Amino acid sequence: MKTIRTSVSAIMLAVALLFAAGCTKPNNENNDNNGGSSTPGGNDNGGGSGTGTETLFLPSIQTLSVMDITISSAICEGLVDDDGGSPVTERGICWSTSSFPTINGSHSANGNGTGTFSVTINGLSEGTTYHVRAYAVNAKGTAYGGDVSFTTTASSTYPNGVLPGIFSVSYSQKIRFSQGNLQYMGRGEYWRFADHQWEHLGDNGQASSNYANRDLFSWGTSGWDCGNTYYKPYEHAVSDGSLFGPPGKTDLVYQYANSDWGVYNAIVNGGNRPNLWRTPTEREWVYLFKSRSASTVNGVTNARYTIAIVNNVFGMIVFPDVYTHPSGVALPKKQNINATDPTTNDFNTYNGSDWLQMEEAGCVFLPITGFLVSSGYSPYGEKYGYYWTSTCSPNYEDKGLCFGFEDRRAAVHGGTFYFEHGAKNGTCAVRLVQDY
């Protein structure tokens, strides 16, 4: 009888041990101390606490894909598929140029709990390889997913001074815009692009001297002397329009192509040699704003443009052919997209940080620049924006057509793309493009 009781006791003890093993939390393969990897890719802590009725583990976390990689940003996804027996209070992505980054370095959080999440990483260096890991935090500690590497886009992909957005200007031709409006630095006698798209010189005395800095020009005043040195001293000044542009009724093409600023000039922050840029034609501007196919933005199909205020500057945002609006940035107001006569003063307003995200997504901004006449800066300077085309006016042989818009009203001024403020003394801004 004693032998039988001893056997029964042994059997009961074995069953109890098996039951206890079956109720233990399964191993987290990311933990160093619970049967998981002991490589640098594992977690900071592992194993049970040994004090409670239920053993706690680090969360189970995966680093998923890296996508939408640009010169300075990328989007990384992660997945928390098990909380380890304790609520996940923070989850996110950490990154570094070295392997196996941790939250002791660069990192950004996005929410809590289990499930899939994503983080947009900004401020990266172009052409640089980065490592990312997803992380999750619970009462036990911090868990990390696998190390994933990616390389930001190199500047050679986007030539010097070129913005990333791609725009159709005919059924067969696409272009990319320069990083800002064209400027002529009078003292140094060189050409450059504005550092930011919203920048413009305005009424800063640019009409007062040939040595002034300028971003408003008479048509075709590239500096080319048309074979006649008489034109040369007046190449950038604001004066009698009969002095400017190629003689005769012509576009800025064929033998007069040198009158196009982007063709004739080396632009120091735009490749620094001639023949890298050009001015869009009238038909290209019209196609860009009225005819091309584009993405849907805030429910509006073929969203091509919208009036907006960017970094406290009024102007027009132009959406690229393919566009995804950055998460966390307010959507453009539906009533202002493709609107030719907005009826509200409730305009889109974006700060510099928001705009840089939209710029990286491909948007172009054309600021209101005003215009100059021979007597000085126009009183309408803060109301109108005019941009030259390379197309000659049908009514004046020494002037071209310009694309125009005004604040709080028609996006396409008069719908005609015709410069109506004086054929002999008007000036406009210049935004150059490269064929894609």
pLDDT in tens, 217-239: 878 888 877 665 544 445 565 55
Statement: residue 31 has pLDDT above 50: no
* Distance between CA atoms of residues 386 and 405, nearest Å: 7
Under DSSP, the state recorded for 424 is: T
* Distance between CA atoms of residues 315 and 385, nearest Å: 7
Strands 167-168 and 174-177: antiparallel
Of 378, 388, 380, 408, whose CA–CA distance to 315 is shortest?
408
- Among 28-42, 178-192, 223-237, 404-418, the range with the most confident prediction by mean pLDDT is 178-192
pLDDT of residue 407: 62
The residue type at 154: A
pLDDT digit string, tens, across residues 169-222: 999 999 999 999 999 888 778 899 999 999 988 776 565 566 678 888 878 888
Under DSSP, the state recorded for 259 is: G
Q: Compute CA distances 221 → 206, 232, 366, whole Å.
A: 15, 9, 21
pTM of this structure? 0.62
Assigned token pair, 254 = 């064929």
CA angle 389, 393, 398 (to 5 degrees): 95
Statement: residue 284 has pLDDT above 80: yes
* Distance between CA atoms of residues 1 and 428, nearest Å: 111
* Distance between CA atoms of residues 199 and 313, nearest Å: 8
185 — phi, psi (to 5°)?
-95, 105
